[in-house]
Amino acid sequence: MLRRLRRLTVGAYERLLEREISGTPSHVAVIQDGNRRYARERGAEKTEGHRAGADTTEQVLQWCADLGVEELTLYAFSTENFDRPPEEREALFDLISEKLRAFADREEVHDREVRIRAIGETHLLPARVRDAVAYAERRTESYDELHLNVALAYGGRAELLGVARDVATEAAAGELDPTGVTVDEIETRLTSGPTRAVDLIIRTGGDERTSNFLPWHANGNEAAVYFCAPYWPEFSRVDFLRAIRTYESRQESWRRTRVERAAALLRVVTDVELEEARRVAGRVREPTAIDPATDPIADLEDVEVREREPSAD
């Protein structure tokens, strides 16, 4: 009875959250934290936690497709994960290989035209993982409806450091003009990155940090961040909808701030113009010789220029 009541309550809450959401982020990135703690609290092997987390990944992909998210990036294996015990690391490689192949063969993936791609230093991975990556990418390379990026052997700082080294090397050799290095130039060199800027980062497991994940694509875009307590295997559709709502709230706050700043600037300009107009009117009622250096009309024009220039912000 209590279980049925809980299901009804959760269902009603999901519908409420759905009504509160009027749009979705284009690109969601997820740090899937808490798999090992989930297993440990249940007295299970760490690999069971990772396997349960893989099931959640399939659900999240479905939710993204249903809501119209265009790109999903999952932090599956970081460069720091190479420091884990060999037996855990090898079990993870087995699971990643298995799931990549299974995903690439799923009927839903092909029905929804999901393109699977690995990002990161994949050359560092074992051959079986690289083969699974190649298989998944080859099977879905013609799709463009939803992009699924699986971050493997990925580290954001290492990626940026590699780009910086390449730029420095080419500049030192006279092959590149340092003053010509633009944002677009950097992005073309981030070949292992996603296709678009990140709008929302989700991290499960309770920690409130982004752990070197997509610093160029997320921080540069000032992505919204949603931290939640459930471990990744426990992550629910309610949690996902809450994350989307956080993104929307941040977007609305950003738009409101822009409007408020624009209104404040307009008030400042208007107040200054009124004050200067009064001064001009007073001078007109009492004619005097006009010194160009102190001409109030010139003053007023200068104020307009000075006050309106920042509006490009």
Which residues are the active-site residues?
33, 81
d(CA 95, CA 87): 12
CB of 163 closer than 8 Å to CB of 134: no
The residue type of 2 is L
* DSSP string across 242-305: HHHHHHHHHHHHHHHHHHHHHHHHHHHHHHHHHHHHHHHHHHHHS--PPPGGG-HHHHHHHHHH
User: In sequence order, what are the residues at sequence separation of 6 or more whose Cβ sits closer than 8 angstroms to the Cβ of residue 74?
Assistant: 29, 30, 32, 57, 148, 149, 150, 151
Label residue 31 exposed, middle or buried (CB < 10 Å: 0-12, 13-18, 19+): buried
d(CA 202, CA 218): 11
Of residues 310, 270, 279, the one with CA closest to residue 297? 279
User: In sequence order, what are the residues at sequence separation of 6 or more whose Cβ sits closer than 8 angstroms to the Cβ of residue 310?
Assistant: 265
- Torsion sign (Cα): 143, 149, 150, 151: positive
Paired with 255 in beta bridges are none
Of residues 5, 26, 24, the one with CA closest to residue 240? 24
Only one residue has tokens 């396997």, namely 51
d(CA 141, CA 259): 42
